[in-house]
Structure 1
């Protein structure tokens, strides 16, 4: 049986022809650089943490799964199927063992999928199943990760790394402000859920918004966080100094 390798992204002309352009990176182990070819990936949406109640003599049921218009989800499973082609059985066996050593013993860590290079998952490896096919001289591996339901952006909002820009879903915005007196600013969260924002502050700055009011200075800003809602977060800044909002988007992808 002959396999036809099909990568989903354009191959860099400078890349070696025997190195796959698609795969994943976990715990610094890059499947593309270790002889594995990605043949399939599945990342279904996570299941919801549903809380429902039925009332006697009433049709249907009441759904109490949401708080402040936010749905809550269980961890999700992401599955990759990889293929290794090797002539010798002992070579294939070595690749199987190394794959398990590199993935299974480790705790939660970043999972980078080359299909979504702008984001990463927070995940751990749940299982590695490998099938050796001596007739075709191949290994077929099925790897399942358990992951936090939302993907994180690689960099903080406002960093604007060009390689991360995805024009259909992106916003260019200022997140660091010089404060001298009072001013109104708007910080957007275009992610899929509310997120925590921390700060970097010099001088004395007061921030007031839907999250309440916080008075920040060089000594206390590291211990303070606020919640940014989805969409516009209109904030009044007052005082004298600088303030930078530090947060990453969380995306349902």
Structure 2
């Protein structure tokens, strides 16, 4: 089993995984108690999706090194390979192919055990919700990488002449704000928001893809490409 995090590569370092643990998924609940109404009202889905707390993935590795000097050297290498990086991509062999976690190594621990002549490395990574991100753009036509459990075959680029309605599917577990690339002049209406685009590349707009099918109304003249990546809970 391999764990990759920037300069840290468990295989290259010769570390053997002995344990992998994931904290339970915790929802970020928004509730309110109103006088005269029994129980409480749950507003957790008011933004069109469930919201989650950061999640921790913990790995424990061991490596037997009989020379005390070499154990100390390896300990220094491991600590320094983790210390200089903040929030970064984390890969491990248990994830589906072409997926990664966006994480920070929050509490690395390396124990040098002279009695059993081994290093024990415990790494806890705090992962950003929704925890697992796909590297492949939605709508790609790379058949060899198609995952029948998660992927959807769909068009994400459109020629616009007049008015038309298109459907985009977000098969992930979180709302996505796509990057939008436009030539010409195109107006987009989706999920209650309308934005007029001229030629250019746009990010951080009012256009969102909620989970499931999204109906987009396009009008104008030109082309439009929606660039987005699937996000799944771990």
Describe the shift of the 1:79–1:85 C-alpha distance in structure 2 as closer, same or farther (beyond 3 A).
same
Secondary structure of residue in 1 paired with 2:76: helix
Corresponding pairs, count: 232
State the TM-score, normalized to the length of structure 2.
0.87
1:112-170 per-position Cα deviation (integer Å, ceiling 9, x unaligned): 12211331111111111122333433211110011102121112212254564321221
Q: Matches of residues 85-234 of structure 1 in structure 2 within 5 Å?
A: 85-116=64-95, 117-150=97-130, 151-162=132-143, 164-219=145-200, 221=202, 224-234=205-215
Is residue 23 of structure 2 the alignment partner of residue 34 of structure 1?
A: no
**8 A contact 1:177–1:242 mirrored in 2:** yes
In the other structure, the counterpart of 1:17 is none
Unaligned runs of 5+ in 2: none
Question: d(CA) in 1 for partners of 2:111 and 2:136?
Answer: 37
CA RMSD of aligned residues (A): 2.4
In the other structure, the counterpart of 2:46 is 67
Question: d(CA) in 2 for partners of 1:216 and 1:58?
Answer: 46
Moved more, 56-65 or 99-108: 56-65
Describe the shift of the 1:84–1:163 C-alpha distance in structure 2 as closer, same or farther (beyond 3 A).
farther
Describe the shift of the 1:96–1:52 C-alpha distance in structure 2 as closer, same or farther (beyond 3 A).
same
Secondary structure of residue in 1 paired with 2:50: coil
In the other structure, the counterpart of 1:18 is none
